[in-house]
Homo-oligomer: A and B are copies of this chain.
Amino acid sequence: MQLPPDPLDLEEFRRNGHALVDWVADYLAGLASRPVIEPVAPGEVRAKLGERAPEHPEPFDEVLADLDRVVVPGLAHWQHPGWFAFFPAQTSPPAVLGELAAAGIGVQGMLWSTSPAATEIESHVLDWLVDLMGVPQSWKSTGPGGGVLQAGASTATHTAMVVAREQCRQRTGAPAEKMVAYTSNQAHSSLQKGATMAGLGHIRLLDVDSEFAARPAALAEAVAADRRAGLEPAFVGSNIGTTGTAAVDPLRPLGEIARAEQMWHHVDAAYGGSAMVCDEFRSCHDGLELADSYTFNPHKWLATNLECSVMWVADRGPLISTLSVTPPYLRNPASESGQVIDYRDWHAPLGRPFRALKLWFVLRGFGAEGLRRMIRNHVGWARALAERVDDHPRLERIAPVHFALVSFAHCDGNAATDALAAAVNADGRFYVTASEIDGRRFVRISVGSTWTTEHDVDALWNLVAACA
């Protein structure tokens, strides 16, 4: 008679773990031969699952088999080499291993004292990134600022808005309903969502220039109009790599207005930030010393799986004073010494996993040169693709190629553009996104999957040209 599986048996865990590692390697190796988007109708995945949770433990072999039977046929394969949609959500072998290690170790780093290594490795790795990306030295945890890992840029931006609101309230006494946030009309939807969640009364989506960058004059005019109307300007969000076309806002003039008007200046570099490991992109950072907070997502384009978003603040004081609540069960000598960082005071959650581990694994597994090479490859392939678009008689690029995003339309108008995107996606080897600005439809090709090669970009171009 066979014994039922024991979920805590560590010898079983070894066997199952080895089998799953092999499954993951096979999954990644086999992606190129699958469609990027599996064809699946609403409810089809659920129809394969039992009506009730199992009463008895199931052997891991059955679970593993269901990855192939239930999960894989219901996925959009974000790690597919033909993934050119949205922005990338990269993983990489070092990141996957870092996630495995963090899950296995299973510590909860809400306080320094509840796992010093989790806090110190996070601070240290984010200080490494200050140097790697050339952001202000004062943002290091050894200075007045500091970095913290947030779940995502949406969360980081929302948190910055909450701090901005409290700073404005302390300074002016105005209620949140009278406060105004400003950002480009090309900013990510998280700016609007964050403003809603933070209860800011108004958000102004500023006009952009011909390259889709925020116009400082539009900010100045909007602020003046709002002041005349008795409102309180509180927050400016600048963007390095907007979602639509990867546009870059001029940080310096926006930051100068923010400072003059005593507004919080937050930089959303969710996508573009990763490129700053290469110094040739850093003209985007001109004026960064005028920013109060900055976020970018290693889980987009720095080879680290979800969730992993960096947030830096120029001065950690306002962040901590807004978010710190200390009940008796969290008091401890290390915190009271003032010598340590307690990251629970740097974000909304209390409990937190050991997210820094995977970022540490990635920085060590790739080395700075490996990350730079990946970014430069993607940007180079995107620029080459853009040249082909420019040379094509039926296609028109609608925006400069910042980073590795190419945005273009069909000369025959919106219907032709949508038909082009649909035809490319229908092929099955590639996935691109169709979007729209000011009523004009366009195709976004975002080069950035960890596994994409120059050959994939060439093949995509051949298909685009054939469909155009």
Supplied contacts A20-B101, A71-B121, A175-B175, 15 more A-B pairs, CB within 8 Å: A16-B97, A17-B25, A42-B340, A75-B107, A89-B107, A89-B108, A91-B103, A91-B106, A103-B305, A155-B349, A190-B350, A243-B329, A307-B349, A328-B435, A329-B433
Interface set, chain A 27-57, CB cutoff 8 A to B: 27-29, 38, 40, 42-46, 49, 52-57
The answer on a CB contact under 8 Å between B97 and A60 is yes
Q: Copy number of this protein in the oligomer?
A: 2
Establish whether residues B350 and A154, one from each chain, have CB atoms under 8 Å apart when the complex forms: yes
In this complex, the member of A92, A305, A348, A433 whose beta carbon has the largest number of chain B beta carbons within 10 angstroms is: A348
A387 CB-CB contact with B under 8 Å = no
Q: Which of A127-135, A247-255, A260-268, A287-295 contacts B (4 or more CB under 8 A)?
A: A127-135
Is A151 close to B, CB under 8 A?
yes
Q: A306's closest neighbor in chain B, by CB?
A: B353
Asked if A24 lies at the interface with its beta carbon under 8 angstroms from chain B, I say: yes
CB distance from A333 to the nearest CB of B (A): 11
Query: Are A71 and B25 touching (Cβ within 8 A)?
Result: no
Q: A230 interface residue, CB < 8 Å from B? A: no
B97:A20 contact, CB within 8 angstroms: yes
Give bound CA distance, A56 to B365, whole Å: 8
Question: B353 contacts A305, CB within 8 Å?
Answer: yes
Stretch at the interface among A217-225, A318-326, A390-398: A318-326
Residues of B within 8 A of A25 (CB): 10-11, 13-14, 17
Tell me which residues from 52 to 80 in chain A have a Cβ below 8 Å from any Cβ of chain B.
52-58, 60, 62-63, 67, 70-79
**A76, B7: Cβ atoms closer than 8 Å:** no
- Nearest CB of B to A196, in Å: 7
